[in-house]
């Protein structure tokens, strides 16, 4: 199986009124959708296959994102197994264009590469290069194990 490095995907969105609640801050579900999409792009680019979301780790939203803010999402594959990969997605808020970015939340998504019938398909192996890549590989391993533990507990 081929060994590959992972490249970061960066997606940027402007927060419109229809993305927000009565308080003028972004809906949690809307942000999860953006994160899922950005994460999926990383998984698709890495594997070269179609993917489905198998699992989303719990998310903690640290600071609100408001209407008119710019949302930046950065995703990267951090761990691979035979057909699945764990993708880290970080979210930043930019209140004023060109000024500093505030970290808002990090999510871990497990994607599985699938064929045209939706059956799992083997993917390349991630090659961790830097010390940071190696640290995140271990985090990814833990995320994947926890996802399978949760799966085992659900009907």
118 near ligand COA, rule: CB under 6 A? yes
6 near ligand COA, rule: CB under 6 A? no
110 near ligand COA, rule: CB under 6 A? yes
- Nearer of residues 28 and 118 to ligand COA, judged by Cβ: 118
Tokens encoding 128: 């961790």
Separation of alpha carbons 60 and 27, rounded Å: 13
83 near ligand COA, rule: CB under 6 A? yes
Q: Look-up: residue for tokens 């594997």?
A: 47
Q: Which of 64, 66, 120, 139 lies at the binding interface for ligand COA (CB under 6 A)?
A: 120
* Number of residues this chain uses to bind ligand COA (CB under 6 A): 16
Residue 48: count of CB within 10 angstroms of its CB: 12
55 near ligand COA, rule: CB under 6 A? yes
Separation of alpha carbons 31 and 65, rounded Å: 9
Separation of alpha carbons 96 and 89, rounded Å: 22
The β-bridge relationship of strands 102-114 and 9-14 is unpaired
For ligand COA, the binding residues (CB under 6 A) are 52-55, 81-84, 110, 112, 114, 118, 120, 147-148, 151
């Amino acid at each position: 199986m081929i060994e590959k490095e992972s490249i970061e995907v960066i997606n940027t969105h402007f927060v419109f009124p229809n993305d927000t609640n009565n308080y003028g801050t972004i809906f949690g579900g809307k942000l999860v959708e953006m994160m899922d999409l950005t994460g999926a792009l990383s998984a698709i680019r890495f594997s070269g296959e179609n993917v489905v979301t198998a699992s989303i780790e719990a998310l903690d939203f640290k600071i609100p994102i408001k209407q008119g803010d710019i949302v930046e999402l950065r995703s990267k594959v951090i761990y691979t197994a035979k057909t699945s990969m764990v993708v880290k997605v970080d979210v930043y808020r930019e209140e004023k264009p060109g000024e500093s970015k505030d970290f808002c939340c990090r999510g871990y998504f497990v994607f599985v590469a699938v064929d045209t019938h939706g059956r799992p398909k083997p993917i390349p192996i991630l090659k961790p290069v830097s010390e940071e890549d190696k640290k995140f590989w271990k985090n990814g391993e833990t995320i994947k194990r926890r996802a399978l533990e949760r799966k085992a507990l659900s009907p």
